[in-house]
Structure 1
Amino acid sequence: MTVKTRFAPSPTGYLHVGGARTALYSWLYAKSQGGEFVLRIEDTDLERNSQEAVDAIMEGMEWLGLEWNEGPYFQTQRFDRYNEMVDRLLAEDKAYKCYASKELLDEVRAEQEANKEMARYDANHPKIKAVNEAAKDGDPCVIRFRNPTEGSVVFDDQIRGRIEISNSQMDDLIIRRTDGSPTYNFCVVVDDWDMEITHVIRGEDHINNTPRQINIYEALGAPVPTFAHCAMILGDDGAKLSKRHGAVSVMQYRDMGYLPTALNNYLVRLGWSHGDQEIFSREEMIEFFTLNAISKSASAFNTDKLLWLNNHYIKTSEPEYVAKHLQWHLDQQGINKDNGPAITEVITLVGERCNTLVELAEQIRYFYEDFAEFEAGAAKKHLRGVAKEPLEAALAKVEAIQEWTTENLHQMIADVCAELEIGMGKIGMPLRVAVTGGGQSPSVDAVMQLIGQERCVARIKMALAFIAEREANA
């Protein structure tokens, strides 16, 4: 048997973190078993669906690198198949027409609540029975599934263990509306059967749907998949993760400067573990992933830990990979990487200092753009009269360097210190502010090497002009 999983979002919003984790778990399980992963768009809610949401889901899946073997399938393109199966159940008396109006059903429900009974659809209620018996062909009706009245539905959840629900707790759910459109719980079953889904991995909010769906699988004579229901994700404050906790859309994490590898690594650990290991390559996730290692308990989202992971991946990933995802942020900030050194070299030098790609883009601007003024605080502290002589000495040596290497720049700084009998800080910090415009950067010799000789000369001259003006205005 080929293992086949599916991710089946509804296109009523963006791909959120909980959905992304479900997709990741489904994808990983399929890959770990040498199986296949299906993407299905469950778009039967015609009023709330949007193409924008479909595009956002696809964009999120592609950004995360969760490629699918089949799909995307759209339920709205399969209505003929669903209706064929509804008609079959009608013919086999496993479904029936119900003519009761919404108002009547509300009235019956109110009676049940007043009598302290379970509020549920009851085909044998005298009022409902009377309406159904009096109806004529052609009257508006829904089609309801004839749920078994005896026994229980029992299934072995791969995360939660044995779950048993009495059939007496379930009513006859609607499988086709009055407008002829099939409903979610029925479409899901037909899809899973047709697409040969063997394992359904989804959120715990679907547990109540599972016994209803199992009864439909069995009524159709379809194989029942194996189920695994994942616990919810909570915010830092212990409440269910929502917009008020910050980003919940996957692409918002892209916008905030996270790498997809970091988010995938973080999401896989939100409820799953392999010993004490925290950092997982894509290959390790696939190798180690099992359903029985997923926790039954809810997981708390910790932004600090995600930032730590992101910094780790910026530091340790191939610079070409980081550059690929940094490009979007360079475009957002209007930085043209063609106006300076190779972006991979800059990433290697600066990347370890940054938690996000937004920070990285901000911190490398001076490699690609000249600046009109220095950072006020840094200039006030380091571009003073005392820095004039060291900068002039450095300028003369910088202009004279024949081979523009980090080693020669390091030697240049050492020579200035020796000749003027000053400490490294007396030239290092003024030089840093001069060539970067601010007071924070990696080693100034390495920075200067990447900025280039011509730009360094011009910026040191600009710093000396700044000092001269400052002295003149003193």
Structure 2
Amino acid sequence: MITTRFAPSPTGYIHVGNLRTALFNWMIARKAGGTFILRIDDTDPERSKEEYVDAIKEDLEWLGLTWDRVERQSERLDRYAEAADTLRQMGRFYEAWETPTELDLKRKKQLNMGKPPVYDRAALALSEDEKARMRAERGAGVWRFKLDQERIDWTDGILGDISIDAASVSDPVLIRADGQVLYTLASVVDDTEMGVTHVVRGSDHVTNTATQIQIIEALGGSVPSFAHHSLLTGPQGEALSKRLGTLALRDLRAKGVEPMALLSLMARLGSSDPVELRASHDELIEGFDLSHFGAAPTKLDIEDLTPMTARVVQMLESGDVAAELATAGVPEGLRDAYWQAVRGNIETRAGAGDWWNVFAGGAEPVVADEDRDFVAEALGLLGEPPYSAETWGNWTNAVKEATGRKGKQLFMPLRLAVTGRARGPEMADVMPLLQKKPKL
């Protein structure tokens, strides 16, 4: 069975970059009838917050990205400790004590010599007495995985054939000096024990994947199918890192972005398939194919969500926005007619009731000085409500005969006088909803 996972760290709110990873893994699992795991990467006790765990679940639920089960890495520390012991017994795990300053000096020296800036494995040459002295002087060290210095090959679901020389990569630190288990080890243990078959994540993880493949093999696990999607940039190709705080899913939700608009954009962005608004999750899943995605950085213009959200809202029925219409004061008996009239002019669900103030008599008429006498004469030819669908045509014909005006010079001043807006619903639909006769 295909099993995928999304493993966010609860150290902040998830943003559009996280969503891309979650969505791809979710679609793979759902398309195959497999399992999608929400795995909370909370091994950092200082930065992980329960409020962010709740927020992650809330954001995914808002988008309809349901999970089959939740796992928490903080509850699996004993499993990571056992894996670490196994690696020690195999001679693949060693302790090292270099300070960040010492490591930086080593990297600079290697670069000056034209060598790749990788850890030189000096800790492997320490005798037991030297190790004991280092522990006494510096306390516990970090624990590094000893890579086999050979090529690591895999066929990536997006990038194609990948080959990385392990000799050009530093032995990764898997456990910090304070005992915190890092993602590289925890993820390997979890993927192996949870039977994860497919892993999709950002292309910034490619080197990390190479090292994890060796760790998986050392622990006797099965290597999942890896795929690395492109990283997102701003619309001009600029890095998104400084803007991600404003691209949190909860901020987009607060701005009125619709779930299907966001999912439709993220499900195809960066692929050879056109970005088209999908009506359901099933439609998203049906056309999804990892092989259609490319490696080049993918430009994201968050403004693209505005028209897509408007299209979602405009396809809703009045019952879908009943709460918003009730809040705006739209009488229940008029809600269907009101929504049919205005929905083509609504951009967000929160704005569903905005036009009711106009129809209820709260519109401030907009009348140009040169049109004031014309509008006054026209209003004199309009009776009192209730009006019908024929009222607008009958009224404008009468005004045309009385004043000789026609075309835009006739219709625009009257629209502005009635609604206070230059654009909006068809006036034939507006007139039956007016609760009061417009006044200057």
Using structure 1 for the length normalisation, give the TM-score. 0.79
SS at match of 1:5: strand
In structure 2, C-alpha distance between the alignment counterparts of 1:116 and 1:245, rounded to whole Å: 36
* 1:393 equivalent among 375, 378, 381: 381
In structure 1, C-alpha distance between the alignment counterparts of 2:109 and 2:412, rounded to whole Å: 81
2:21 touches 2:202 (CA, 8 Å); kept in 1?
Answer: yes
Q: How far 1:209 sits from its partner (Å)?
A: 0.6
In structure 1, C-alpha distance between the alignment counterparts of 2:291 and 2:61, rounded to whole Å: 27
Q: How far 1:303 sits from its partner (Å)?
A: 4.6
Match of 1:123 in 2: 121
**Which amino acid is 1:295 matched to?**
G
1:159 touches 1:295 (CA, 8 Å); kept in 2?
Answer: yes
Structure 2 vs 1, CA of residues 287 and 448 (structure 1 numbering), >3 Å: closer, same or farther? same
| Superposition pairs of residues 240-279 of structure 1, within 5 angstroms | 240-243=239-242, 247-274=246-273, 278-279=276-277
Match of 1:74 in 2: 72
**Which amino acid is 1:267 matched to?**
M
Structure 2 vs 1, CA of residues 167 and 307 (structure 1 numbering), >3 Å: closer, same or farther? same
In structure 1, C-alpha distance between the alignment counterparts of 2:244 and 2:150, rounded to whole Å: 43
1:431 touches 1:444 (CA, 8 Å); kept in 2?
Answer: no
- In structure 1, list runs of 5 or more residues that go unmatched: 467-474
SS at match of 2:223: coil
Match of 1:87 in 2: 85
2:201 touches 2:228 (CA, 8 Å); kept in 1?
Answer: yes
Q: Deviation string for 1:364-404 (max 9, x for gaps)?
A: 25257653x725xx2335872332343233134x3xx5xx6
* 1:447 equivalent among 427, 430, 435: 430
Match of 2:188 in 1: 189
SS at match of 2:189: helix
Single out whichever of 430-439 and 223-232 deviates more from structure 2.
Answer: 430-439
In structure 1, C-alpha distance between the alignment counterparts of 2:348 and 2:261, rounded to whole Å: 10
Match of 1:366 in 2: 357
SS at match of 1:22: helix
**Which amino acid is 1:196 matched to?**
G
Structure 2 vs 1, CA of residues 379 and 131 (structure 1 numbering), >3 Å: closer, same or farther? farther
Structure 2 vs 1, CA of residues 418 and 169 (structure 1 numbering), >3 Å: closer, same or farther? closer
| Superposition pairs of residues 331-342 of structure 1, within 5 angstroms | 336-340=327-331
Match of 1:158 in 2: 157
Using structure 2 for the length normalisation, give the TM-score. 0.85
1:100 touches 1:131 (CA, 8 Å); kept in 2?
Answer: no
In structure 2, C-alpha distance between the alignment counterparts of 1:125 and 1:309, rounded to whole Å: 56
In structure 2, C-alpha distance between the alignment counterparts of 1:96 and 1:25, rounded to whole Å: 36
**Which amino acid is 1:11 matched to?**
P
1:349 touches 1:442 (CA, 8 Å); kept in 2?
Answer: yes
Match of 2:436 in 1: 456
Runs of 4+ residues over 6 Å off in structure 1: 136-139, 424-427
In structure 2, C-alpha distance between the alignment counterparts of 1:57 and 1:95, rounded to whole Å: 34
Q: Deviation string for 1:421-455 (max 9, x for gaps)?
A: 7657788556544543444331223123234xxx2
2:330 touches 2:353 (CA, 8 Å); kept in 1?
Answer: no
In structure 2, C-alpha distance between the alignment counterparts of 1:347 and 1:247, rounded to whole Å: 32
* 2:395 equivalent among 413, 421, 428: 413
Q: Give identity over the alignment, percent.
A: 32
Structure 2 vs 1, CA of residues 245 and 125 (structure 1 numbering), >3 Å: closer, same or farther? closer
SS at match of 2:381: helix
In structure 2, C-alpha distance between the alignment counterparts of 1:185 and 1:132, rounded to whole Å: 25
Match of 2:226 in 1: 227
Single out whichever of 183-192 and 253-262 deviates more from structure 2.
Answer: 253-262
The answer to whether structure 1 residue 348 and structure 2 residue 340 are counterparts is yes
The answer to whether structure 1 residue 33 and structure 2 residue 24 are counterparts is no
In structure 2, C-alpha distance between the alignment counterparts of 1:387 and 1:355, rounded to whole Å: 30
SS at match of 2:367: helix
Number of residues paired by the alignment? Answer: 436
Single out whichever of 50-59 and 166-175 deviates more from structure 2.
Answer: 50-59
